């Protein structure tokens, strides 16, 4: 099993350009998440999908959109990139959102630079 995969690994954009970050998981998980990681701030939740067909905003959703394409895939789109979106982006998945605890499995990350 590959677990959680993300593409691309690295990307450089100019301000105003758009792009989509792809994420897929092969663990048959119901819930998927997008985080951004900035120095000293830990991981902050951008959007999540509790189950196929649903998406919800997290802590920092402005400037992003998401699509839960099917149970396996969850993409993150930047419509008009800004330098403030320079970050490392992680996708994660978990069996479900509800329950006594929520163990999440993470992809390797996408390092995005916006000039």
Partner 1 sequence: GDSVTQMEGPVTLSEEAFLTINCTYTATGYPSLFWYVQYPGEGLQLLLKATKADDKGSNKGFEATYRKETTSFHLEKGSVQVSDSAVYFCALSDRAAGNKLTFGGGTRVLVKP
Rounded to a whole number of angstroms, the minimum distance from the CB of residue 53 to partner 1 is 18
Q: Does 43 bind partner 1 (CB under 8 A)?
A: yes
> Judged by CB, which is closer to partner 1: 85, or 110?
110
Q: What angle do CA 76, 78, 81 make, to 5 degrees?
A: 150
Number of H helices and number of E strands within the chain? 0, 11
Residue at token pair 């677990």? 3
Contact 107, 48 (CB under 8 A): no
DSSP string, 59-106: S--TTEEEEE-SSSBEEEEESS--GGG-EEEEEEEES-SSSS----EE
CB of 77 to partner 1, least distance (A): 21
27 binds partner 1 (CB under 8 A): no
Choices 15-23, 40-48, 61-69, 78-86 (CB under 8 A): range interacting with partner 1? 40-48
CB-wise, 11 or 17, nearer to partner 1?
11
Q: Which of the residues 57 through 86 are near partner 1 (CB under 8 A)?
A: 58
Considering only the stretches 21-29, 61-69, 70-78, 106-114, report the one whose residues sit in contact with partner 1 under the rule CB under 8 A.
106-114
């Amino acid at each position: 099993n590959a677990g959680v995969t993300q593409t691309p690994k690295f990307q450089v954009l100019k301000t105003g350009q758009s792009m989509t970050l792809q994420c897929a998981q092969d663990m048959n998980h119901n819930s998927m998440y997008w985080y951004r990681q900035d120095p000293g701030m830990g991981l902050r939740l951008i959007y999540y999908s509790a189950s196929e067909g649903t998406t919800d905003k997290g802590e920092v959703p402005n400037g992003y959109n998401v699509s839960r394409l099917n149970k396996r895939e969850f993409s993150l789109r930047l419509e008009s990139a800004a330098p403030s979106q320079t970050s490392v982006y992680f996708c994660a998945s978990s069996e479900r959102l509800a329950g006594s605890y929520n163990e999440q499995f993470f992809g390797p990350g996408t390092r995005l630079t916006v000039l």
